[in-house]
């Protein structure tokens, strides 16, 4: 180590460099799925099994009077905004 460089300057170079390298290794492990732990914990089912499909869709045919009432409601709500 050169005599004209203080220990604080070396720490200011070495410490951030070590942190960058540690973060890069951690992110690479996360990205590429590397496993650094020695043993895996057993997976406990936190949530019950979910259905693959959504709820049954319902469709109701509106009468012409109901369509007109709905159109009037939409017009009235559009005028207030």
Decide: pTM greater than 0.95: no
Instruction: Count Cβ neighbours within 10 Å for each residue of 22-37 and write b for 16 or more, e otherwise.
Output: eeeeeeeeeeeeeeee
Domain boundaries, the chain: 1-37
Listed range (2-6, 19-23, 44-48) with the worst mean pLDDT: 44-48
Instruction: State the Cα–Cα distance between residues 3 and 45, nearest whole angstrom.
Output: 60
pLDDT single digits (tens) 23-33: 998 888 777 77
Which residue has better confidence, 15 or 29? Answer: 15
């Amino acid at each position: 180590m050169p005599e004209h460089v203080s220990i604080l300057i070396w720490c200011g170079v070495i410490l951030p460099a070590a942190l960058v390298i540690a973060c890069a290794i951690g992110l690479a492990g996360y990205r590429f799925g590397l496993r650094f732990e020695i043993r895996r914990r057993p997976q406990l089912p936190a949530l019950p099994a979910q259905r693959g499909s959504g709820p049954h869709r319902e469709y109701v045919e509106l009468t012409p009077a109901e369509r007109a009432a709905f159109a009037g409601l939409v017009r009235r709500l559009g005028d207030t905004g």
